[in-house]
Amino acid sequence: MAEQKPIRVGLLGAGTVGSQTARLLVEQQDELAQRIGRPIELSGIACLDPDEVNFPWIDKSLLTTDTMSVVKNADIVVELIGGTGVARTFVLEALNNGASVVTANKALLAKYGPELYKAAEDNNVDIYFEAAVGGAIPIVRPLRESLVGDQVKSMLGIVNGTTNYILDEMTTKGLDFDVALKEAQEKGYAEADPTGDIEGYDAANKAAIMATLGFHTNVGIDDVTVEGITHITADDIAAATAEGKVVKLLAVVDHTDDGVSARVYPALIRQEHPLASVHGSFNAVFVRAEYADDLMFYGRGAGGAPTASAVVGDIVTVARHITAGCTGPAIRMYNDYPIAPLSSAKASFAVRFLIHDKPGVLLQVAKEFADRGISINGVNQDLKPTATEPGYDGEIQQLRLVTHMTDETTLRDAVEAVCKLDSVTGEPSIIRVLD
């Protein structure tokens, strides 16, 4: 094996994931050579400031600010820069230069996936991205390969650790969203600018990738309907707990006769549901397929070492393809399904109003729902609102109801009508219920 020319791996980025990727490649050099059948070598590491990168396993002479030189001198380019700006330039350059690409960049794939997949196919090189969805969890490869003999019908995932952590803290400590977010930021679980996580955009990127791979059709980030968790209050969580449920931010992709849909929203799920016990930074993805039936994949959704494990798994796969001379198994999006209209998505909703309880209120509320053909599954007034609830005045009560299946447009219309009633005050809360 000593005489074989090593496969050159160029890293773009030397942050948390980049440095751990370098560590795995260096520490396991001999073992990886055995697994591939040919040695690999780190040929360069592009970073913003080489002086700031100090890890015992990183040979300082590999560090450079000249990203393009790393791109041009590698057989496999590992893009860990993130974002949709220069990352796109470098990935395209690598592919067009005949190098294969491994990336963990979900935003890049959700926005420019088709362009990148085509560039890989045109140049007969690989593009692998296991770490872009679910961190260390093998979910991309099972979708690309294991389930390729089946028909995926839907997927349901907890794919953002930050929001999962915040919702956990709200649940166990009874915190309001703002307090829990601040705590998460102090502990390093949320970024200084948490928008991408808490507004659901990170999960939306992953939903777009899941839908594209699962349904073999192009679903981009702009096709994803997104609702974050910023509107979830301590009272929403208390109401969920009282009903034996928890609130989780879900990425949901579906394929029905109306087309495909990719959505991100917080939802109430039963405490017995396997996804209810996915806590903290762990992620999980549920897949329902025509023949395989239900599958679940669970593991660390983020973190340097777990993400690097997925990245290096991809590097080995690509290196094996290079060794065998067969890179370029294309990502085929041969379907051209329409994006299902929002109105086609039926769901059960938990709605919470703040009311001044007078005789006849419930009747009025019920009428607005009945007039729009929405059936009510249950009504509850047993929980007092907390003082931090918007609209709280010491007198108001909570009226909670759960609907049968309806579409969101009709539901919001009914809720708007209810909010115009004299006895109703404050902001209503609307959360989907997973059946």
**Cβ-based neighbour number of residue 144 at 10 Å:** 17
* Least distance (Å) between residue 245 CB and its own copies: 17
Site membership for its own copies, residue 315 (CB under 8 A) = yes
Segment (H or E) for 93? helix 86-96
SS3 at position 408: helix
Q: Which of 111, 206, 245, 248 is catalytic?
A: 206
Q: Which of 48, 330, 370, 379 binds its own copies (CB under 8 A)?
A: 330
* Least distance (Å) between residue 212 CB and its own copies: 14
Nearest residue (CB) to its own copies, 320 versus 412:
320
Site membership for its own copies, residue 15 (CB under 8 A) = no
Cα–Cα distance measured from residue 315 to residue 363, given in angstroms and rounded to the nearest whole number: 63
Cα–Cα distance measured from residue 120 to residue 123, given in angstroms and rounded to the nearest whole number: 5
Site membership for its own copies, residue 146 (CB under 8 A) = yes
Cβ pair 347, 266 in contact under 8 A: no
* Least distance (Å) between residue 293 CB and its own copies: 5
Q: Which of 106, 206, 245, 300 binds its own copies (CB under 8 A)?
A: 300
Nearest residue (CB) to its own copies, 225 versus 317:
317
Fill in the per-residue mask, 346 to 385: x = in contact with its own copies (CB under 8 A), - = not in contact.
----------------------------------------
Site membership for its own copies, residue 227 (CB under 8 A) = no
Cα–Cα distance measured from residue 268 to residue 344, given in angstroms and rounded to the nearest whole number: 20
Cβ pair 161, 282 in contact under 8 A: yes
Q: Which parts of 174-303 fold into alpha helices (H)?
A: 177-186, 195-198, 201-215, 234-242
Cα–Cα distance measured from residue 105 to residue 107, given in angstroms and rounded to the nearest whole number: 6
Site membership for its own copies, residue 293 (CB under 8 A) = yes
Site membership for its own copies, residue 244 (CB under 8 A) = no
Site membership for its own copies, residue 309 (CB under 8 A) = yes
Fill in the per-residue mask, 18 to 57: x = in contact with its own copies (CB under 8 A), - = not in contact.
--x---x---x--xx-xx-x--------------------
Site membership for its own copies, residue 410 (CB under 8 A) = no
Report 158-197 residues binding its own copies (CB under 8 A): none
Cβ pair 327, 124 in contact under 8 A: yes
Catalytic residue list contains 111? no
354 CA to centre of own chain = 32
Site membership for its own copies, residue 332 (CB under 8 A) = yes
Residues sharing a CB contact under 8 Å with residue 180, sequence separation 6 or more, in sequence order:
166, 167, 169, 170, 173
**Cβ-based neighbour number of residue 397 at 10 Å:** 16
Cα–Cα distance measured from residue 49 to residue 320, given in angstroms and rounded to the nearest whole number: 32
Q: Given the rule CB under 8 A, which of 146-154, 351-359, 397-405, 417-425 is the region that contacts its own copies?
A: 146-154
Cβ pair 126, 74 in contact under 8 A: no
The site for its own copies, by CB under 8 A, has a size of: 60
Is 343 exposed, middle or buried, given 0-12, 13-18 or 19+ CB atoms closer than 10 A? exposed
Binding site for its own copies (CB under 8 A): 20, 24, 28, 31-32, 34-35, 37, 130, 136-138, 141-142, 145-151, 216, 272, 274, 277, 289-300, 303, 305-306, 308-317, 320-321, 324-326, 328-330, 332, 334
Question: Which residues sit in the known binding site?
Answer: 12-19, 106, 191
Question: Which residues sit in the known binding site for NADPH?
Answer: 106
Active-site positions read: 206
